[in-house]
Structure 1
Amino acid sequence: MKKLLLFIGAILFSTLFYDKRIGLNLFLFSIITISVLYVNNKDDFKNKRTLLYASLYLMTGLAVFFHDSLVSVIANFVTYFTLIGLLSQHKSSIYINWLNGLYTTIAGLFHRNFTFNEATQEVEPKKNVDYIHLIKIIFIPSIILIIFIGLYQNGNPLFSKIIASIDLSFINVQWLLFAGLGYYLLSNIHKPIEVEPATEIDLKTGNSLSKTNAFSIPKLKQENQLGVILISLLNALILLFLITDITFLITNDDVRASVFSSQVHSGINALIASIVIAIIILLYVFRGDINFYKDNKTLKQLAFTWIILNIVLVLSITAKNGQYIYYYGLTYKRIGVLVYLTLAVTGLITTLVKINKIKNIWYLLRLNTKAAFIVLIISSTINWDYHITNYNFNYAKSMDFNYLIELSNNNTFLLKEQAETKVLGQDSIKRIEDKYNKYVYELRTNSWQELQYDNLKLETK
């Protein structure tokens, strides 16, 4: 039954994806994948985390159907690897899930059927299968059969006519190879496996720091003094910067767009880098036994102050980016800055918790990779092209029309609506019409595997 399901899945895989664009097929394949995983790992699907990740996997597949964006496709792949990896080991960190999911997808079948013999330094089959005999019983009879068909064709005109009348042109070799790829893929993942060294190390590594044998009061006193001086100076510097920066923002209500443009391009990257460096410095200062030094309260208070001031710095950068968006409109780059700032705040808060609760760097890695995963999933559900276009037409003080027209087809219907309701130049209207007509033709020629939500919208127009 399980083998039959793999064969059916392979046929469906080729039916869905062979010579087709991404659309409804990715969501349908998500259902097939979960079905194969459920049949072979029923007990694992009693786990709440498994159900959660399976639901997220389906959700990203639906996001691709509603708006076929690169972000949603990437999110679908990432949740796929996360779900596969979770089934290999429920207690591992999310980045180990990604590793196990990727390894299973590429080499699961090989891993389950072969092993590396340390003594002979050779790869050996885990099961006693005579592969040479298997090849013989497939290829030798086939070759001999073909030879005899050729001989009999020359000896019997009627037999030759029957053989000649057999039309095998309906067989699509590429389609069959694609089905073979689908079978290999599903065979790999149906029983997920783990990368043993990495998974084992992850499971053994906790989140808390512990005092080392090298604990030395005199050395820690010196480290504490160095940390206090360094972070005090950094606090004074960032405080001075924030005072001047906030004063500039408050006292310049209507700053020219060119000024903000210059500040954003030249300043934001540097400020973002400063936040990353700030986190690295704090991780270095609180890397070991200094966490257990009884006179480190001043150092901790200074570190907490610096983290809070860095969060204020993030808010300042957000305000500048917001002003830039107000003048020039939304773009993916400006949205990317906001996403990064969200992750930066998360990193700063988790660093504060790490110092306060005496956690290790693995704690930060585990929490922040989860945060990045959540941000990716949320981002995949948003039709960014639509919202960028809508904001720029209706709220931005100036608009780069060329940028909007070069976005994906996710904003095509909205552009058409704007062309009908807004005063635009003839050239702009023509470019919108061209994009609209081309997209409508593409939708109307979509096969059922390539269907998108816009196909349904088109039918209602």
Structure 2
Amino acid sequence: MKKIALFIAALLFSTFFYDQSIGLNLFLFSLLTVVILFINNQTHFKNRKTLVYTMAYLLTGLTIFFHSSALSIIANIVAFFTLIGHLSEAKSSIYVTWLNGLYTTIAGFFHRNFASNDKTTTEETVKEKVVIDYLHWAKIILIPTLIVIAFIALYKNGNPVFSEIIETIDFGFINIQWLLVAGLGYYLFNNIYAPIEVKPATELDLKTDNNLLKTEGFSISKLKKENQLGIILIALLNALIVMYLITDIVFLSSEQEIRASLYSAQVHSGINALIASIVIAILILLNVFRGDLNFYEGNKTLKRLAFTWIILNLLLVVSIVYKNSEYIYYFGLTYKRIGVLVYLILASIGLITTLLKISSIKNNWYLFRINTQVAFAILILSSSINWDHQITKFNFNYAQSMDLKYLIDLSNNNTLLLSEHLGDKTLERDEIRLIKSKFDTYSYQLSTNTWQELKYDNFKLKTK
């Protein structure tokens, strides 16, 4: 059953991808992958987390059908590794899951057949090794084939009628490249149908707890000095960031209209300050609360100062969000401005998880584990948004001024929306020409798509 399923999957893989661009085929491949994994790992699919990863993987494949972008393709690949790695060991952290998924995809077949270090083998494995005689199969296939070819050559010279029949046989229908892609598909599915784990990394991850423990060298006098140093340092940094925030509020309240260059400088300098502040904050807090100081009874003042510093950094995030939002309002959305907002979200999450680490007495592994989980979730969610379409829509409807050439230079995900604005009187003749050219080129591309390359825009174009 397994061999038949892998063989069929390999043929479908080549049908989906041979000489085709990305479109509906990647979503169909995602469905096929889930089916192959389900056949051999049915008990794992009763796990709620497995179902979540499966839905995330299928969502990224469907996203590519609606708007094929580099981000959605990257998200699909990451979700693919995540699902496979999770099936190898459901309790491992997500970064180990990625490692297991990548290793399974590349070397699963060789690991199962040639790299097993287990001294004991199951009865089924022993039987399989005894039954499969590769040399015997090679003899059965190669020797009769070579002998038949030799006799065909001899008979062709001895009988002109036979020679004519042989020459009429055309093997041109056999596409070697298609078969090679099918072979690649078979190798891929053969690797992933039974996911494996990188044991050293997985075992270390499972053994590593999130909680901090007292060390044998616990010393009250030493911790008292560390606590004093931490209080002085974090108090000064609190004072510094308060001064920055006050001057920032004064600046924003005193300026009614801010030029684009000044807004840009403010946003970028604010981001630089935020990066430095968060990096320093996290590194200092991780160092201060790295061990026994977490269990020192006199650390309450230090913890309050640390929490205050984190909250002030979050206020700094709010300040930068406001500046960036004003900049977007006046001059429109761009990928860089969206990137600023994404960074601010990640920075805020990093600060909050640091606060949780300190308050719950967790170790650095806790931070790494929870933040990688959050990063994966943000990647999946952000890939589901058609950013080119949303940027174009926002700039036409809300931006006080915009760079239309920037919108035209975006991917084809906004082409149909741009074509809807061809009647705008604000457009210049050259801008209308560029939009029409982009629309005509994209329409031709959609009209030549095979069923494997279909996109949602194919159906939208038909309704126009």
Q: TM-score, normalised by structure 2?
A: 0.95
Which position in structure 2 is the counterpart of 1:190? 193
**Matched residues in 1 for 2:378 and 2:434: separation?**
34
Aligned match of 1:199 in 184, 198, 202?
Answer: 202
Aligned match of 1:305 in 294, 308, 323?
Answer: 308
Which position in structure 1 is the counterpart of 2:114? 114
Which position in structure 2 is the counterpart of 1:18? 18
Which position in structure 2 is the counterpart of 1:37? 37
Q: State the secondary structure of the residue aligned to 1:419.
A: coil
**Matched residues in 1 for 2:24 and 2:308: separation?**
50
**Matched residues in 1 for 2:346 and 2:369: separation?**
13
Matches within 5 A, 1:13-412: 13-115=13-115, 127=129, 130-412=133-415
Which position in structure 2 is the counterpart of 1:418? 421
* 8 Å contact from structure 1 (residues 152, 160) kept in 2: yes
Counterpart of 1:27, as a letter, is: F
**Matched residues in 2 for 1:179 and 1:391: separation?**
44
Q: Deviations over 1:125-153 (max 9, x none)?
A: 99465544544444344333333322222
Q: State the secondary structure of the residue aligned to 2:115.
A: strand
For residues 375 and 246 of structure 1, do their structure 2 counterparts lie closer, same or farther at Cα, with a shift above 3 Å needed?
same
* 8 Å contact from structure 1 (residues 50, 87) kept in 2: yes
**Matched residues in 1 for 2:342 and 2:355: separation?**
20
Q: Unmatched 5+ residue regions in structure 2?
A: 120-125
Q: Deviations over 1:333-362 (max 9, x none)?
A: 111111111111111001001000000111
Q: Deviations over 1:34-85 (max 9, x none)?
A: 1101111111111111111111111111111111111111111111111101
Identity of aligned residues (%): 66
* 8 Å contact from structure 1 (residues 113, 127) kept in 2: no
**Matched residues in 2 for 1:287 and 1:43: separation?**
40
Could you tell me how far 1:29 is from its partner in structure 2? Answer: 0.7
Could you tell me how far 1:253 is from its partner in structure 2? Answer: 2.8
* 8 Å contact from structure 1 (residues 66, 452) kept in 2: yes
Which position in structure 1 is the counterpart of 2:123? none
Q: State the secondary structure of the residue aligned to 2:423.
A: helix
Aligned length: 456
Q: Over aligned residues, Cα RMSD in angstroms?
A: 1.8
**Matched residues in 2 for 1:195 and 1:32: separation?**
25
Counterpart of 2:317, as a letter, is: V
Which position in structure 1 is the counterpart of 2:456? 453
**Matched residues in 1 for 2:133 and 2:217: separation?**
57
Which position in structure 2 is the counterpart of 1:122? none
Q: Unmatched 5+ residue regions in structure 1?
A: 120-124
Q: Deviations over 1:205-227 (max 9, x none)?
A: 11100011121222211211111
